[in-house]
Amino acid sequence: MKRSPLAPESFPELPPVPGVRLAVTRAGYKGWDRADLTFAALDEGTTVAGVTTKSRCPSPEVDWCRTALPLGRARALVVNAGNSNAFTGNRGRAAVEAITARVAKALGCQPSDVFVASTGVIGVPLPIDKAEAGIDSVLCSERATWEEAAATIMTTDTFPKAAARSAVIGDRTVNIVGIIKGSGMIAPDMATMLGFIFTDAAVDAAFLQQMLGAANRQSYSCITVDGDTSTSDTVLAFATGKARNAPLTSVDDPGADAFQAALTDLCIDLAQQVVRDGEGASKFITVDVTGAESDASAHRIAMSIANSPLVKTAMAGEDANWGRVVMAVGKAGEPAERDLLSIRFGMTEVARHGLAVEGYDEAPVAAHLKGSEIEIGVDIGLRGGRATVWTCDLTHGYISINADYRS
Amino acid sequence: MKRSPLAPESFPELPPVPGVRLAVTRAGYKGWDRADLTFAALDEGTTVAGVTTKSRCPSPEVDWCRTALPLGRARALVVNAGNSNAFTGNRGRAAVEAITARVAKALGCQPSDVFVASTGVIGVPLPIDKAEAGIDSVLCSERATWEEAAATIMTTDTFPKAAARSAVIGDRTVNIVGIIKGSGMIAPDMATMLGFIFTDAAVDAAFLQQMLGAANRQSYSCITVDGDTSTSDTVLAFATGKARNAPLTSVDDPGADAFQAALTDLCIDLAQQVVRDGEGASKFITVDVTGAESDASAHRIAMSIANSPLVKTAMAGEDANWGRVVMAVGKAGEPAERDLLSIRFGMTEVARHGLAVEGYDEAPVAAHLKGSEIEIGVDIGLRGGRATVWTCDLTHGYISINADYRS
């Protein structure tokens, strides 16, 4: 698969995170010649938080993580690529149990300290023999780099995705590194979004959960490729505590604000990289809604615009079709007054107070839409609610990837 | 535009509806060589009911109809094609007022007896001079046929759409004829769904509204092309009373059940024709959900499946990808148990109780998916809630129509 035209130029420089040891191996979940099992060993004392798919039909891996997360402890992470193990009944559950038991035995920890995520074909139970052999192999593999890990969790992604931030807590500088995969949902691979964040900060598990939840609302919850939702979406954050800062336990702790800001910024970076690898994407689109009844209302309007096939095809066609934006505002079902609505593409307002701006300068709009980074601004004109979400355009490439193909 | 491959072979035979006189003319709303203004004169005593878009940003025509509908009386209908008059502020409202005033003066009725609907480009006020000249012309035009009227309300439709049903009320047989247009939402034409139903039955306006609402819930509310919603969608039903049946006023009246059944069946036929003209459609898809928590829950799950780009592209690719159906069930947010779910394509069950049916016969599934009429069945396995909705596949044709184009 050709690298997305929206991909960053190169893989970022990433610092090590003390307390995390990465390794990868080839379990052979598919008939491919690449590593497909990623392993992270985490030092004792590591705390964990996570957010998972809202799907009502989650994979057994998601069920497992949801059960283990409240305990707040982690010693290892296993990520399988090529088989999502979703919709596989008891055999899928058995595979998760076999993986966690085997890792727990090797590390001398509880199975609930072992987190698992899988991505790939659904409806086929993860082969337990391959998973077990893969784990045995990865436990004695050499240390892998961030880039190797980011590449090994990929399925149909066209580039490995990672980012890092740092924050100062008291007299310590802590690092946060994240890797992520996902590019919409490609069959048969259900290109699930899986994200893994590692920090050497000492953070209480419950507070880490609170901060990850807040970051999620401004990042992963604000992106869409096709509006479809995987049964396996998972983001986990691990804090090893090796930076030896005074552990963060509440928003009132010194450094908590800085850590939250760094974490949120990291998550936005990672989330945007997923959009930049959207299936068939040729343009990265920022939808900015202001003046809504509330922030939640603004978010729903922004997602209605970002998910509209007509808006997304108009952007693919570089067409300043603000009528489709009005349509998407109208169908969101949120408070909106036709005669108060204003719409801009880039910096140029094309409709104001419910009317086309007569004789607006089309040149900057055309130039903006020709670019690969597009901004659609909508002011609802009611109150102060605002939201920003990110999406990509809808092109022939999306159809080719998803229709010109048999599973 | 090439006629949709899903179109019926020919335009149906339709009976006259006493009390309705049709005419068409060329108002010239666009630079095209075709009639674009449709007029129906309705005899005194005609009752009316209507359903309109749920968009929060409706056109002034929709506002007008909403205000006039509670009065329950109609003497005329004007339909403009080529300009939707949506998002045009005071000038759009003035155009609607000018049209209704002119018709009312000519017919000697109230402006509120005149119903208006417009479809086409948005953001450009309907030119009042063209509308007025068109009305003057259409008032002295010869009688038009149903087919001419059905063709004149079209925008980007590839075939005219109509249907008829009859019902027995007491010793009278009444006819119901409907015409409809819409094929998804094509820019810049916003291929709004506009439907107009005419019957010679005598029906009390409030009861007609109740019956149209019931029919709507089983027809127009059960179709989707791309999930996008026009600012102008309108369905109006007119009852002239010329059949001289004992007027229907409640469900207890003899013949009320028969009339409701005929009206609902007619609306389903018309709604399905809109899907058959869906932009780029190559397959007509029936999504049948059973076993849900309630009928409303089944409807939401069915619409989630019918609107999923991944399901629709899989159908375009003739791919028995039931994983995408599971995904769409999961993202609907309705009660569903992974391990109770069963899925079929055509008559062949491919997943049962949350697991792939091992060794199911792929031949009939492949044959079914190669056809142009596809059925996806999903049993949720919880309770007795059920729903059926209709959609089309998502193809390169949709992208070509909506992206390979500038407004």
Render pLDDT for B138-189 as a digit per residue (tens, 0 to 9). 999 999 999 999 999 998 899 999 999 999 999 999 999 999 998 765 333 4
Cross-chain residue pair B87–A351, CB shorter than 8 Å: yes
d(CA A147, CA B49): 64
DSSP H helix total and E strand total for chain A: 11, 15
A306 touches chain B (CB under 8 A): no
Which tokens hold the place of B77?
């209908």
Q: What band does B231 get if pLDDT is binned at 50, 70 and 90?
A: confident
What ipTM was reported for this prediction?
Answer: 0.84
Query: At a CB cut-off of 8 Å and minimum separation 6, what does A234 contact?
Result: A50, A51, A52, A53, A61, A62, A65, A117, A192, A193, A194, A195
For testing contact with chain A, the best of B85, B311, B321 (most A CBs within 10 A): B321
Cross-chain residue pair A327–B55, CB shorter than 8 Å: yes
Q: What is the pLDDT of residues B49-77, one digit of tens each?
A: 999 988 888 899 999 999 999 999 999 99
Nearest CA to A347 out of A286, A395, A275 is that of: A286
d(CA B197, CA B117): 13
Residue B51's Cα: distance from chain center in Å?
Answer: 10
Which tokens hold the place of A257?
């604000």
CB contacts, 8 Å: A399 with chain B: 313, 316, 394-396, 398-399
Average pLDDT value for residue range B329-351:
93
The pLDDT > 70 percentage for chain B reads 97
Which residue is it, tokens 């995904």? B327
d(CA B232, CA B274): 15
Q: Of chain A residues 88-117, which have a CB less than 8 A from chain B?
A: 88-89
Decide if B192 is catalytic.
yes
Query: Strand order in A355-356's β-sheet?
Result: A355-356, A348-352, A342-345, A373-379, A284-292, A385-392
Cβ neighbour number for residue A249 with a 10 Å cutoff: 15
Q: What band does A406 get if pLDDT is binned at 50, 70 and 90?
A: low
Query: At a CB cut-off of 8 Å and minimum separation 6, what does A380 contact?
Result: A289, A290, A291, A292, A293, A298, A301, A329, A335, A336, A337, A340, A341
Q: So what's the pLDDT on residue A47?
A: 98
Choosing from A100, A119, A192, A290, the catalytic residue is A192
Inform me whether the pLDDT recorded for A188 exceeds 60.
no
Which tokens hold the place of A226?
């096709």
Q: So what's the pLDDT on residue A405?
A: 55
Q: So what's the pLDDT on residue B187?
A: 35
Q: So what's the pLDDT on residue A190?
A: 47
Query: At a CB cut-off of 8 Å and minimum separation 6, what does A279 contact?
Result: A156, A183, A184, A186, A191, A225, A226, A397, A398, A401, A402
Inform me whether the pLDDT recorded for A184 exceeds 80.
no
Q: How many alpha carbons fall within 13 Å on the CB side of residue B349?
A: 12
B248 compared with A397, residue with greater pLDDT: B248
DSSP string, B58-73: --HHHHHHHHHGGG-B
Q: What share of chain A is helix, strand, coil (3-state, %, to 5)?
A: 35, 25, 40
Q: So what's the pLDDT on residue A191?
A: 56
Which tokens hold the place of B123?
């953001």
Q: So what's the pLDDT on residue B360?
A: 86
Domains, chain A, with CATH or none: 20-276 (3.60.70.12), 284-403 (3.10.20.340)
DSSP string, A99-149: HHHHHHHHHTS-GGGEEEEEEEESSSPPPHHHHHHHHHHHHTSPPPPHHHH
- A177 CB burial (10 A radius; 0-12, 13-18, 19+): buried
The annotation status of A279 as a binding-site residue, yes or no, is yes
**Nearest CB neighbour to A326, from listed B122, B226, B351:** B122
Pairing of strands A172-181, A194-199: antiparallel
How many residues in chain B? 407
Average pLDDT value for residue range B241-255:
97
Q: Which residue of A has its CA nearest to B192?
A: A327
* Contact assessment for residue A328 and residue A341, using Cβ atoms and an 8 Å cutoff: no
* Contact assessment for residue A383 and residue A293, using Cβ atoms and an 8 Å cutoff: yes
Q: What is the pLDDT of residues B260-276, one digit of tens each?
A: 999 999 999 999 999 99
The annotation status of A216 as a binding-site residue, yes or no, is no
Query: At a CB cut-off of 8 Å and minimum separation 6, what does B394 contact?
Result: A309, A399, A403, B226, B280, B309, B312, B313, B315, B316
Q: Of chain A residues 224-263, which have a CB less than 8 A from chain B?
A: 226-231
Cβ neighbour number for residue A384 with a 10 Å cutoff: 11
Choosing from B152, B156, B192, B199, the catalytic residue is B192
Average pLDDT value for residue range A366-374:
96
A370 touches chain B (CB under 8 A): no
Q: What is the pLDDT of residues B299-325, one digit of tens each?
A: 999 999 999 988 999 999 999 989 889
Pairing of strands A373-379, A385-392: unpaired
Inform me whether the pLDDT recorded for A145 exceeds 50.
yes
The annotation status of B80 as a binding-site residue, yes or no, is no
* Contact assessment for residue A261 and residue A167, using Cβ atoms and an 8 Å cutoff: yes
The annotation status of A358 as a binding-site residue, yes or no, is no
Q: What is the pLDDT of residues A33-88, one digit of tens each?
A: 999 999 999 999 999 999 998 888 889 999 999 999 999 999 999 999 999 998 88
Q: What is the pLDDT of residues A234-250, one digit of tens each?
A: 999 999 999 999 999 99
Cross-chain residue pair A394–B407, CB shorter than 8 Å: no
Cβ neighbour number for residue B154 with a 10 Å cutoff: 26
Q: What is the pLDDT of residues A282-320, one digit of tens each?
A: 999 999 999 999 999 999 999 999 999 889 999 999 999
Query: At a CB cut-off of 8 Å and minimum separation 6, what does A313 contact?
Result: A393, A394, A395, B398, B399, B402, B403
Average pLDDT value for residue range B99-114:
98
The annotation status of A264 as a binding-site residue, yes or no, is no
Cβ neighbour number for residue B384 with a 10 Å cutoff: 11
B233-258 burial, b for 16+ CB within 10 Å, e for fewer? bbbbbbbbbbbebeebeeeebebbeb
Average pLDDT value for residue range B339-368:
92
Nearest CA to B115 out of B159, B174, B71 is that of: B71
Q: Is A284 helix (H, G, I), strand (E, B) or coil?
A: strand
Inform me whether the pLDDT recorded for A373 exceeds 80.
yes
Q: Is B146 helix (H, G, I), strand (E, B) or coil?
A: helix
The beta strands (E) that lie in A269-384 are given as 284-292, 342-345, 348-352, 355-356, 373-379
For testing contact with chain B, the best of A52, A53, A54, A57 (most B CBs within 10 A): A57
